[in-house]
Amino acid sequence: MEEKQLIGELNRILTLEHGHLGMYRDFIDHEEKEIRRTFRRFAEIEAEHVEKVKSILYNLGAKPSFVVEGGDIIGSLFGFTINKAASIKDIIKIYSAIEKKSHEGYAAFVSKIEQDADNRNRFLAEIVSSNMLESHLMHLWLEDKLRTM
Ligand SMILES: [Fe+2]
């Protein structure tokens, strides 16, 4: 993969990760204790994802930048708008769909760069694959939660 394309993809991922962080950042507002605890940890995981992608960009000598500036990143990138009155079940449904998309997006990115002729890019695939795994784990937790609601 060309350097410019790689940096573009990473910045797009960074923007999405920022959106994910925004989903869980207000964990304290949820009524149910299990959701508060889980979303608090998910917020920490998403913050780690943001930092990991940022540090890859810095180490490539690139500047982290958002593909979509401010506002409703999730709405503009995923086509979901979460209204304030949405039930927790609906919110979890949307988050689950977003984590599924995230996992699929990472899987496509990882498989692209792990086949790269460039050793460095193959190594990057190993670093970002942990984000891929964690988006899958979050998706599975959300799906499991939905089954009991
Ligand atoms: Fe994430």
Q: What is the pLDDT of residues 2-11, one digit of tens each?
A: 899 999 999 9
The whole model's pTM is what?
A: 0.91
Distance 32 CA to ligand 1 centre (A): 23
| Digit-coded pLDDT (tens) for 66-88 | 876 665 666 666 666 666 668 99
Distance 86 CA to ligand 1 centre (A): 22
Cβ atoms within 10 A of the Cβ of 2, count?
7
Least confident of 49-53, 79-83, 90-94, 137-141: 79-83
Distance 84 CA to ligand 1 centre (A): 22
Distance 123 CA to ligand 1 centre (A): 19
- As a whole number, the mean pLDDT across the chain is 91
Distance 133 CA to ligand 1 centre (A): 10
pLDDT of residue 148: 94
CATH of the domain at 30: 1.20.1260.10
pLDDT of residue 1: 84
The residue with greater pLDDT, 78 or 33, is 33
DSSP state, residue 61: T
pLDDT of residue 86: 80
Distance 4 CA to ligand 1 centre (A): 23
| CB distance 91 to 142 below 8 Å | no
DSSP state, residue 31: S
pLDDT above 80 (res 110) = yes
Distance 20 CA to ligand 1 centre (A): 6
| CB distance 142 to 95 below 8 Å | yes
Range of the domain at 101: 3-147
pLDDT of residue 76: 65
pLDDT of residue 82: 67
Distance 70 CA to ligand 1 centre (A): 18
Q: Residues within 5 Å of ion ligand 1 by Cβ?
A: 17, 20, 46, 49
Number of domains in the chain: 1
Tally: H helices and E strands in the chain: 5, 0
pLDDT of residue 74: 66
